[in-house]
Structure 1
Amino acid sequence: MVNFLTGALLSFLNCIGELFYGQITTDFKPCLRFFYKETIPQGISGDSYVALCQLYNDEYRFATLYDKSRRIPLYSAYILRAKVQGGGSRTRKESWKVQPELDNPGKIPMASRDDEKHEKLENSQAVNEDYTNSGYSRGHLAPSGHQETDDDRKATFTLTNIVPQKEGSNTGTWEAQEQKMLKRLKDCTSRMYVITGVMPYESNEPKINNRVHVPEYMWTAYCCESFKGEADQNHFPTYAAVGRNDQNSPEDIVKKDPNNKGYDVKEMSLESLEKILKERLKMSKLSLFKDQCKSDKSKTHH
């Protein structure tokens, strides 16, 4: 009987992913340290958004604003701490995790093969089988390669940190953008705060498995309030980028280069990104970093 139950549990976890426990909040209070000046992005609101402090092995690792209606995160916020050489390796063999507390705030439900419990879990989030044969890869918002410790990297492998991303973007142009940010970290003499998110289509949003919405664009922005004097000051204290996740999208936000097969990434100022997000998210006011990441420390260090 014990062996049967163990086998059933393993089968269930293989289907939906490993259970992973975060903490749902209304204001990110337990994990505000992942935001510059402990201030969350201003002007972003929605009935289906859930603030999630990503907890792994009893420590908060990063923060996510999760969209339960689309079953993808809108953004994840973290501190870039990976070592440029060796510390940011990908951990592709990690198991994918799910978070049952999205439907049971404050509770830790048992894993079960019970169909009703499985269905309830799927109500609010993606599960592994959504991505199977979907034509999309599992795209990190807080990437494992931007984390410092093994547990930090493992924590990013939760489906609440994942969006459907075309492989040409995920392991191509978008990964190259992540590597650019790693290289700039060496010129940052303060913490580098990063917020990475997605932009939905304006209409007719495609879905995988008729459940999980596919974003049209990826975006990222960072804040480093102090930096070395020899740094490229065009990229400090803030900078941002938008990447195409659809080869056939119009070129009003990011133009195409034939060499990138439609998955181009455009770097831009923080102000330019915020203007685009205001229009796409239909938010009248939007600010990703308090005071635009400008303070008394926003100067070069020699």
Structure 2
Amino acid sequence: MLLLLLLQISLSCLWLGHGEVVTSFESSCPQFFFRETPPNEALEPESPAWICQRYKNQYFFATLYDRSRRIPVYSAYLYQPGSGTRPKTWLVEPQLMGLSYPKTMEREWTLSKYYNVSSEQIGKSQAVLQDYKNLTGLNRGHLNPSGHHSDSSSRTATFSLTNIVPQDEKLNGGAWNNYEQQTMMRRTVGCNTTYVVVGAVPGNNYIAKGRVNKPSHIWSSACCEVDKNHREAWGVIAENDKNEVQLLKLGELEEVLTHLYGRGEVYLFDSDCPRE
């Protein structure tokens, strides 16, 4: 027991980040949602996990994760772009194996070495790096992109596989990248705070021998606070096999998602965010 305690203390110096599995976003990390209101239940999968993504004892974004399909449903964050290098370390979420594991995003090899956890155990309820090996025409697509964050800590936090989906290679490097880097910059001029919810619609195809779902669509939505009395909003959606992005009003995107998910009307933001 003493040896285990000392090992855990020493590991606290090595941990890269923190990702806490919680019971709701309203009570744990509501700051990433406009008026502290997450999307409604119409997006929730059958096996959901609510993750407050944390690094160096600070929350950076929130992710609703689909344990069975091993992809995020959506990630929510504040748009705060800045210059910086792209991280290279990929992380997983130990608490998806059980709440007895550390509240940390961690590298697979660290879990294997210090906690005697196998890749098979990690992969039961989430994607692992092996799932994204040898892809053809697809790559690891961020929902919450590192380039929308201002420093190394916030950028590193986005490199969790719980924030990744199999995305069409041309789309990810083409029209979707143009939206993330160019359209977002233009649309947010004059915004004091911009709340973003970006997600993926589950598809009928899988990678990694049926382990990880390939989304049929990738979508993103934004609610911009210009001042206390003025707000702007928009959304985009793309089929995950075409290099095209459709720019929509927020209300239009919610209507499209209502049809695609088929679980009732979708509401991405609090009603004070304009739909027209």
CA distance in 2, matches of 1:184, 1:30: 29
In 2 relative to 1, CA 218–147 (structure 1 residues): closer, same or farther, beyond 3 Å? same
Q: Which residue of 2 aligns with 1:42?
A: 40
Q: Which residue of 2 aligns with 1:149?
A: 151
CA drift at 1:289: 0.6
Equivalent positions of 1:137-216 (< 5 A) are 137-179=139-181, 180-188=183-191, 190-201=192-203, 204-216=204-216
CA distance in 2, matches of 1:158, 1:182: 24
Q: Secondary structure at the match of 2:184?
A: helix
| Kept after mapping to 2: 8 A contact 1:19/1:99 | no
CA drift at 1:89: 4.7
In 2 relative to 1, CA 20–141 (structure 1 residues): closer, same or farther, beyond 3 Å? same
CA drift at 1:90: 5.5
Q: Which residue of 2 aligns with 1:63?
A: 62
CA distance in 1, matches of 2:143, 2:179: 12
Matched pairs, number: 249
Q: Which residue of 2 aligns with 1:281?
A: 261
| Kept after mapping to 1: 8 A contact 2:132/2:208 | yes
211-220 or 21-30, which deviates more: 21-30
Q: Secondary structure at the match of 2:39?
A: coil
Q: Which residue of 2 aligns with 1:270?
A: 250
Q: Secondary structure at the match of 2:155?
A: helix
CA drift at 1:19: 6.9
CA distance in 1, matches of 2:232, 2:263: 24
| Kept after mapping to 2: 8 A contact 1:216/1:244 | yes
Q: Secondary structure at the match of 2:190?
A: coil
Q: Secondary structure at the match of 1:112?
A: helix
Structure 2 letter corresponding to 1:99: E
Normalised by the length of structure 2, the TM-score is: 0.83
Q: Which residue of 1 aligns with 2:224?
A: 224
CA drift at 1:115: 8.0
Stretches of structure 2 that go unaligned for 5 or more consecutive residues are 1-14, 104-109
CA distance in 2, matches of 1:182, 1:54: 24
CA distance in 2, matches of 1:74, 1:117: 25
- Identity of counterpart residues, as a percentage? 38
Give deviations 1:178-198, integer Å, cap 9, x for gaps: 12112322221x310000001
In 2 relative to 1, CA 90–220 (structure 1 residues): closer, same or farther, beyond 3 Å? farther
CA distance in 1, matches of 2:54, 2:85: 20
In 2 relative to 1, CA 103–20 (structure 1 residues): closer, same or farther, beyond 3 Å? farther
| Kept after mapping to 2: 8 A contact 1:42/1:288 | yes
| Kept after mapping to 2: 8 A contact 1:100/1:108 | yes
| Kept after mapping to 2: 8 A contact 1:197/1:219 | yes
Q: Secondary structure at the match of 2:64?
A: strand
4+ residue runs over 4 A deviation: 113-116
Is 1:238 matched with 2:233?
Answer: yes
In 2 relative to 1, CA 272–65 (structure 1 residues): closer, same or farther, beyond 3 Å? same
Q: Secondary structure at the match of 1:277?
A: helix
Structure 2 letter corresponding to 1:274: E
